[in-house]
Amino acid sequence: MGQTAGGNAGVTAEANPASSNGEGLRQRKARLTWEAINRAARQLALERSLDDISVQEIAERANVSARTVFNYFPSKEDAVLGFREIALPPSAVRRFLDSSNCLFSDTAVLAFEALRENWADFATANVLGELLEKNPKLGRRLGKAAEQFDDKIKEVVLQRADDSFQAAVVTAIAGRLCGLCVEMWVRGGSVVGQRQILEEALEALHRSL
């Protein structure tokens, strides 16, 4: 994560420089603040039980106010897990709707790109197991978020599917495949790209059909 569990998770440009061209100063500051709060919340949740952590402590670790924490996250659980308000990348949605390729493969790619957009940081996903072990209630929040995520994907898939049943089945299986790919990438610690793992998984699936 780039910080020790007891380190300062405050907002610093040096710790996490702008990664995208064209990012304005305001957007960059918002991103750094969001990342600092998420990092602080994760550090604290790894140190002790979530029930023993206050929003004020998260704010102090991130060098922001408690109000700022709530401006970015509605709850401690969301801050730890790094949940944004779920939104699908417009470019990914357009590619999906314009495509005439395999519905399942396109859905898996859409879900993967949306997961990458909404997940705090794939590189820190390997701490999720430890977080869930220390704080079981995070599992319930994770399950609720997964349902909301699937609903968003299914809304788009419905525009190409034959009916709602097909959309539900395709969305559920594609979502599970994406989750498996993330698990493989995290466990393997491989230099193989996340997207490459997805493509290899899709190829393996098609070979078995």
Domain boundaries, the chain: 1-82, 90-208
pLDDT at 2: 39
Q: Which of 170, 192, 50 is nearest to 105 (CA)?
A: 170
Q: Which of 165, 202, 158 is nearest to 180 (CA)?
A: 202
pLDDT at 8: 57
**Which DSSP symbol is given to 52?**
G
- Whether 195 has a pLDDT exceeding 80, the answer reads no
Side-chain-side CA neighbours of residue 96 (13 Å): 27
- Whether 200 has a pLDDT exceeding 90, the answer reads no
Rounded mean pLDDT of 120-128?
A: 60
Q: Which two tokens stand for residue 205?
A: 């699936």
- Whether 43 has a pLDDT exceeding 80, the answer reads yes
Higher pLDDT, 161 or 113: 161
- Whether 106 has a pLDDT exceeding 90, the answer reads yes
Handedness of CA 58, 80, 188, 153 (dihedral sign): negative
- Whether 117 has a pLDDT exceeding 60, the answer reads yes
Q: Which pLDDT band holds residue 121 (cuts at 50, 70, 90)?
A: low
Higher pLDDT, 108 or 18: 108
From 60-74, 129-143, 168-182, 183-197, the region with the lowest mean pLDDT: 183-197
Q: What's the rounded Cα separation, in Å, for the pair 172 and 56?
A: 38
Residue with tokens 């989750």: 179
Q: Which pLDDT band holds residue 100 (cuts at 50, 70, 90)?
A: very high
Q: Which pLDDT band holds residue 7 (cuts at 50, 70, 90)?
A: low
Q: Which pLDDT band holds residue 120 (cuts at 50, 70, 90)?
A: low
Based on the number of CB atoms within 10 Å of its own CB, is 141 exposed (0-12), middle (13-18) or buried (19 or more)?
middle
Do residues 206 and 140 lie in contact, with contact meaning Cβ atoms separated by under 8 Å?
no
- Whether 119 has a pLDDT exceeding 60, the answer reads yes
pLDDT at 64: 98
In angstroms, what is the C-alpha Rg of the chain? 18
pLDDT at 3: 41
Provide the greatest CA pair distance for the chain: 54
- Whether 70 has a pLDDT exceeding 70, the answer reads yes
From 65-69, 163-167, 193-197, the region with the lowest mean pLDDT: 193-197
Q: Which of 128, 118, 123, 84 is nearest to 2 (CA)?
A: 123
